[in-house]
Amino acid sequence: MNDLDTRAAPARPGALRRAAPALLGYAAVRALGLVVLALWSGARGKDAYTLLTARWDALWYTRVAELGYGYEVRLPGGDVHSNLAFFPLLPWLERLVASVSPLSYADGGFVVSLLASLAAAWGIFAVADHVYGRRAGVYAVLLWAVLPVGIVQSMAYSESLFTALAAWSLYAVLTGRWVTAGVLAGLAGLTRPVGLAVVAALWAAAVASFVRERSAARADGARSGERAGAPAAAPRVRAPEGAPRGPGAPGVRLRRALGMLLAPLGAAGYVLWVGHRSGNGPLGYLEVQAGWRNGFDGGHAFARFVAAKFTSFPSALAGLGLMLGVGLVVWLYAVCVRQRQPLPLLVYAGAVTALALCTSSYFGSKPRLLLPAFPLLLPLALVLARLRTPRSAPVVGAVAVASAVYGAIWLNGSGPP
């Protein structure tokens, strides 16, 4: 399926059974990553569970769940790190888990992350299966699992939760479930700032549908004019109550418009609330992000960071690796365009990629920020899907082992992911 198709589609029978190979493969890869992390951390005298639940951003989310908003850290250089930078859905869920169980807020974040990662894997499968078929869907999920930073999917971070909401919202758009798509996009907007990418994808698909319907209506009008002199046709029989309606029916247009209205409410609501609370007006959230040295600069700071790597020979290898990595991401997106992925997937992946590469955030986090851009993996999934299993399985297995080792080394390093 290459062209955008947003006609309502019934759920396939046995949807969980159809996705089972992808989910079992995903669970196996994540289990491997956690085992390797535990062994590596133990050898270094560190606690793997602490690395997953009580370090870096996970600690900030836990503080929001426990103390609410208002906590901040003032650094010697004058920067202010405020927990208002962290969107609220994950802390809300952590607080919910802690309130209905004996688990701590950190434990709640880990549970939410594990469940959300499975939901994300299922959503990625649903999208890829809908567009390219079941086998491509399985490999898309496995590729997402074996990404070098895949260990983040098991951390008490918001990436898994966001990817789950984004993937299912995109699936709802592709299958014409506009209100569901809008609700999920709104929740994604309460999870991470990049939730705007989901909103953009839904709006682009909706506008394309409106334009397509208007063009079809004009074409029908032109054909009617050509038949003006023809004998009168038999009267049209009204469709029975409850009969399926076409994509241009008033009820469908209303649901599509409602989905468009719901989609931005989460992100817009939180940003406006932060502006009101901080006293800096509607764009006060940008001031909060500035305190973290975050902002959209078109990639200028990232380019300077990469260029600085070429000042000495050892670091030049790292700079070359960064350039190759960025080149790979851009190339994959170009392949997605050439393969004519559905419009919402292209808009979503493009927006996530642009926000990840063109912001002045902590540069070590850029691979993690690209984690939700799963449509970029679909061209590679198609390649693997065309291979026989005896050829593709060893490739995925080897990459899974490498990813597990890299994730263990990465989390046991000195900097935050």
Calpha distance 125→23 (Å, rounded) = 9
pLDDT at residue 245 above 50? Answer: no
Helix, strand, coil percentages in the chain from 3-state DSSP, rounded to 5 = 70, 0, 25
The token pair that represents 287 in the structure block: 């001031």
pLDDT at 307: 83
pLDDT at residue 228 above 60? Answer: no
pLDDT at residue 6 above 70? Answer: no
pLDDT band at 4 (very low <50, low <70, confident <90, very high): low
Which residue did the predictor score with more confidence, 298 or 330? 330
pLDDT band at 224 (very low <50, low <70, confident <90, very high): low
From residue 407, how far is each of 36, 161, 218, 282, 403 by CA, in Å?
9, 19, 56, 39, 6
The pTM score is 0.90
Over the chain, what is the mean pLDDT?
A: 88
In Å, the largest CA–CA distance within the chain is 88
pLDDT at residue 211 above 80? Answer: yes
pLDDT band at 238 (very low <50, low <70, confident <90, very high): very low
Give the whole-number percent of the chain exceeding pLDDT 70: 89
Calpha distance 197→352 (Å, rounded) = 6
Give the whole-number percent of the chain exceeding pLDDT 90: 67
Domain ranges of the chain: 17-217+257-411
pLDDT at 380: 97
Q: Averaged over 172-201, what is the pLDDT?
A: 97
pLDDT at residue 352 above 90? Answer: yes
For 268-315, the DSSP string reads HHHHHHHHHHHTS-TTHHHHHHHHTT--B-TTHHHHHHHHHGGGSHHH
pLDDT band at 381 (very low <50, low <70, confident <90, very high): very high
Calpha distance 363→369 (Å, rounded) = 10
Q: Averaged over 20-35, what is the pLDDT?
A: 97
The token pair that represents 277 in the structure block: 């609370």
pLDDT at residue 47 above 70? Answer: yes
Q: Are 97 and 103 in contact (CB under 8 A)?
A: yes
Q: What angle is formed at CA 375 by the lines to CA 31 and CA 398, rounded to 5 degrees?
A: 40
Which residue did the predictor score with more confidence, 241 or 271? 271
**How many CA atoms are closer than 13 Å to the CA of 61, on its beta-carbon side?**
32
Encode pLDDT of 260-317 as tens digits.
999 999 999 999 999 999 888 888 898 898 888 887 877 778 888 788 878 877 888 8
